[in-house]
């Protein structure tokens, strides 16, 4: 495997792509470091750290977005929005494509249709950036909404500051989106996914420092046995994450043999891979804000003015406490629901059956057409059930570590949840692309045995 990494720099094209990718990722990290003009980012960073450490209202939500932006939120940089407006626009367009016939027809028009959809996604991204930029500017002018008291963060509040914040954050987000597209076209891997993975991985040094203080520092209060157990369990969770990411249900597909002149076509046997985790990290991305936002609002109810709403304040506090029983049960149910919701909106069994029938392919023992669609739908439902159970376990494992071992979020986040799923998925996809380029030039790949190689 180490020889394969060395071989990557012996192929000129692959070496250029890797260096090009590193260069653009370095620029993305610079964007995440540039502070927004007019903001006391040091005071903001210290306050957010205290909120996360004390577990106050909004701490979990703030910590989640800070991890996904690579620390840009705590520094209030111009790259605070990062790539997430584009991700949000893409998800909304995908969901709209499944329910709006005009967009569905556009998606099936081939390359021209996809270019149109990409153009609509970029327009929608700009709109989301403007909205979120204005929202962040108002939050910085009124930090009491985040539970920061009378802290003053903006030197000169007003429309001048708001417009400057909106323009700078929108421009930075669009720049990062463009850099991601350039990585996809001229680099290695999917540029958007790589940027998200690097943002998450940039918090790894903080986790290592906290782990050292927890287990090796002179004042450490925790045993090395706990660390060893944590590493073993973490390795098992990572292995399970790889299995969940790579797992597929192979549906056999046969192509009918047809003769044209003196040549015969078809008659081949292949398979259709139905992914166990078809929805990826989307259920977790949908669920976390859906619990955190209402919880943050409900927990701010003034029970002195509204004594009859004390139960709502208690319920909101439970929703933002990721170790509470109410949060874990609600999180489990919502992730389970969104797993099937995403499959129902994105997996069109009838269209797949029609495409198979049009190309002369069929599932052995199943009649073409509606019977094939029902078979694929039934199979995908059972596969999704297994994937949903595995996804729920991986998603709640960091919360279990926090609840039972009192492990900080910065450490527990790398032992499951969205962070681990994104890192594993992007890393496997990038290695798969590098593997194919090495094999094309007659070099050994990363694995001598296994499915990543894609060859016999």
60 pLDDT more than 70: no
What would the pLDDT profile of 200-231 be if each residue is shown by its tens digit? Answer: 888 888 888 888 888 888 777 778 888 888 88
Closest-CA residue to 25 (of 438, 426, 454, 452): 426
Query: Residue 440 contacts by C-beta under 8 Å, 6 or more apart in sequence?
Result: none
Mapped to the 3 state alphabet, what secondary structure does 425-443 carry? HHHHHHHHHHHHHHHHCCC
175 pLDDT more than 90: yes
Q: What is the rounded CA–CA span in Å between residue 147 and residue 201?
A: 28
Tokens 């527990």 correspond to 412
Q: What is the rounded CA–CA span in Å between residue 78 and residue 164?
A: 10
306 pLDDT more than 90: no
| Measured torsion, CA atoms of residues 430, 435, 438, 441, in degrees rounded to the nearest 10 | -120
State in Å, rounded, how far the first CA of the chain is from the last one: 18
Give the pair of three-digit tokens for residue 115.
């270019």
Which range is least confidently modeled, 5-9, 76-80, 136-140, 203-207? 5-9
Count of other CB atoms within 10 angstroms of residue 30: 11
The C-alpha angle with vertex 422 and arms to 403 and 390, in degrees rounded to 5, equals 60
What would the pLDDT profile of 24-43 be if each residue is shown by its tens digit? Answer: 999 988 988 888 888 887 77
Query: Residue 300 contacts by C-beta under 8 Å, 6 or more apart in sequence?
Result: 57, 313, 316
179 pLDDT more than 70: yes
Q: What is the rounded CA–CA span in Å between residue 41 and residue 49?
A: 12
What structural domains does the chain harbor? 1-202 (1.10.3370.10)
Q: What is the three-class DSSP state of 39?
A: strand
324 pLDDT more than 70: yes
Closest-CA residue to 292 (of 349, 258, 331): 331
pLDDT above 90 as % of the chain: 12
Q: Is the dihedral of CA 332, 333, 336, 339 positive or negative?
A: negative
Contact 277, 245 (CB under 8 A): yes
pLDDT of residue 454: 42
What would the pLDDT profile of 250-304 be if each residue is shown by its tens digit? Answer: 988 888 766 666 566 556 778 888 999 888 888 888 887 788 778 777 777 777 7
The predicted model scores a pTM of: 0.80
pLDDT of residue 105: 83
* Residue 389: burial class (beta carbons within 10 Å; 0-12, 13-18, 19+): middle
Strands 263-265 and 248-255: unpaired
Q: 185-217 in b/e burial notation, b at 16+ Cβ within 10 A? A: eebbbbbbbbbbbbbbbbbeeebeeebeebbee
What would the pLDDT profile of 108-141 be if each residue is shown by its tens digit? Answer: 777 788 888 888 889 999 999 999 889 888 888 8
What would the pLDDT profile of 394-427 be if each residue is shown by its tens digit? Answer: 888 888 888 777 887 778 878 877 788 888 888 8
In terms of residues, how long is the chain? 456
pLDDT of residue 453: 44
Q: Alpha carbon 242 to chain centroid distance?
A: 15
Helices 310-320 & 325-346, crossing angle to 10 degrees?
70
Contact 74, 45 (CB under 8 A): yes
Strands 269-275 and 248-255: antiparallel
Q: What is the rounded CA–CA span in Å between residue 9 and residue 416?
A: 32
Q: Alpha carbon 25 to chain centroid distance?
A: 17
């Amino acid at each position: 495997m180490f020889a394969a990494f060395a071989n990557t720099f012996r192929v000129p094209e692959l070496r250029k792509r890797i260096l090009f990718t590193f260069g653009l990722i370095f620029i993305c990290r610079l964007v995440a470091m540039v502070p927004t003009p007019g903001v006391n980012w040091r005071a903001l960073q210290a306050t957010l750290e205290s909120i996360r450490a004390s577990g106050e209202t909004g701490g979990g939500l703030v910590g989640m977005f800070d991890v996904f932006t690579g620390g840009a939120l705590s520094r209030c940089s111009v790259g605070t929005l990062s790539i997430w407006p584009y991700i949000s626009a893409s998800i909304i367009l995908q969901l709209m494509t499944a329910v709006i016939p005009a967009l569905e027809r556009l998606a099936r028009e081939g390359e021209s249709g996809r270019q149109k959809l990409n153009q609509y996604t970029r327009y929608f991204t700009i709109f989301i950036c403007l909205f979120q930029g204005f929202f962040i500017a108002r939050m910085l002018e009124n930090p009491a909404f985040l539970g920061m008291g009378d802290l003053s963060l903006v030197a000169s509040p007003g429309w001048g500051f708001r417009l400057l914040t909106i323009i700078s954050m929108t421009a930075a987000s669009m720049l990062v989106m463009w850099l991601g597209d350039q990585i996809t076209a001229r680099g290695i891997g999917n540029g958007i996914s790589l940027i998200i993975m690097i943002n998450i991985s940039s918090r790894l040094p903080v986790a290592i420092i906290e782990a050292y203080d927890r287990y090796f520092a002179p004042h450490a209060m925790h045993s090395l046995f706990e660390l060893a157990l944590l590493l073993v369990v973490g390795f098992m969770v990572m292995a399970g994450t790889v299995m969940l990411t790579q797992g597929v249900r192979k549906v056999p597909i046969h192509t009918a043999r047809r003769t044209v002149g003196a040549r015969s076509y078809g008659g081949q046997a292949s398979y259709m891979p139905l992914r166990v985790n078809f929805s990826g990290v989307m259920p977790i991305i949908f669920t976390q804000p859906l619990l955190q936002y209402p919880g943050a609002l409900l927990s701010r109810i003034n029970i002195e003015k509204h004594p009859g709403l004390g139960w709502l304040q208690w319920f909101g506090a439970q929703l933002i406490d990721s170790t509470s029983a109410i949060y874990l049960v609600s999180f489990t149910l919502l992730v389970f629901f969104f797993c099937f919701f995403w499959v129902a909106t994105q997996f069109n069994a009838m269209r797949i059956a029609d495409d198979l029938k049009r190309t002369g392919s069929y599932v052995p023992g199943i009649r073409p057409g509606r019977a094939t669609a029902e078979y694929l739908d039934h199979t995908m439902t059972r596969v999704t059930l297994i994937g949903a159970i595995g996804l729920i376990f991986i998603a709640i494992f960091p919360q279990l570590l926090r609840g039972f071992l009192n492990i900080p979020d910065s450490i527990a986040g790398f032992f499951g949840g969205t962070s681990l799923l994104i890192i594993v998925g992007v890393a496997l996809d990038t290695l798969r692309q590098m593997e194919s380029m090495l094999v094309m030039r007659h070099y050994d790949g990363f694995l001598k045995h296994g499915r990543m190689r894609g060859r016999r």
